[in-house]
Chains A and B, each alone.
Chain A
């Protein structure tokens, strides 16, 4: 069981290690000449203005909730997909109902204009 995850662990260790090594290298080798332009917040090359601590639109929250709902739907699809061959048509219909229920909510939201950005 653990041996099958060994490549993943090696990849995580290397990924983390390389990131740390590069950070330390740039800290060690890099020159530190701070100019006002360098230390200011990067804003696509434009002078930054206003505060970043603004209240964000609630529409972002709606997008995040939609993402989670369909994320969970996909999670349910994995065990369904690997077993579809043995379970047959009934499991297929069950999943279609599942998708239909969620898409009913999605189309309701779409029709009410909840996902419009204006």
Chain B
């Protein structure tokens, strides 16, 4: 159990520190690169939850794809790379409202996670991979969801093409 705990706190530290880097970094590009480590750490946490397929998908899609898209998005925007993002320019009133809203969400989430019946499982007992089970269910019980995913991807592709070509 000690090894499990050490690895969990290692990945949790990576996630929290790099997420802090995303939020507190003054430069957009530094935030984007910090997000890379956040995604990586979350994928480590997925592995600890015995969700190996989700972990690999996290690395492939988020680290490999979404992050590239975010960085391209930054580069496509005029002069955003040089802009300093300063939270200090906000007024006290706006900061108060934002702080209260964040506090309310945090309290709500803490209460919710305390009251949820979490599934308790010995993390070291799980040995098999989840890919086979996902494959079996995806092509029998959840075939419709699989088809809808195809349509969703098609819509995303064509929508991006239409928006990109307009100018």
A contact set with B: CB distance below 8 Å: 1-2, 4-5, 9, 53, 55-56, 58-62, 64-69, 71-76, 78-83, 86-87, 90-91, 94-95, 97-98, 101-102, 104-106, 108-109, 112, 114
Contact = CB atoms under 8 A, between A and B. Distances in A.
Query: Contact residue range for chain B?
Result: 35 or more
A91 B73 CA distance: 37
Which of B57, B60, B151, B160: most chain A Cβ within 10 A?
B160
Contacts of B161: 62, 65, 109, 112, 114
A69 B75 contact: no
7 contacts: A55-B79, A60-B72, A64-B69, A79-B131, A79-B132, A80-B138, A82-B132
Interface of B: 3-4, 7, 47-48, 50, 53, 56-57, 60-61, 64-66, 68-69, 72-73, 75-79, 81-82, 123-127, 131-132, 134-136, 138-140, 143, 146-147, 149-151, 153-154, 156-158, 160-161, 164-165, 167
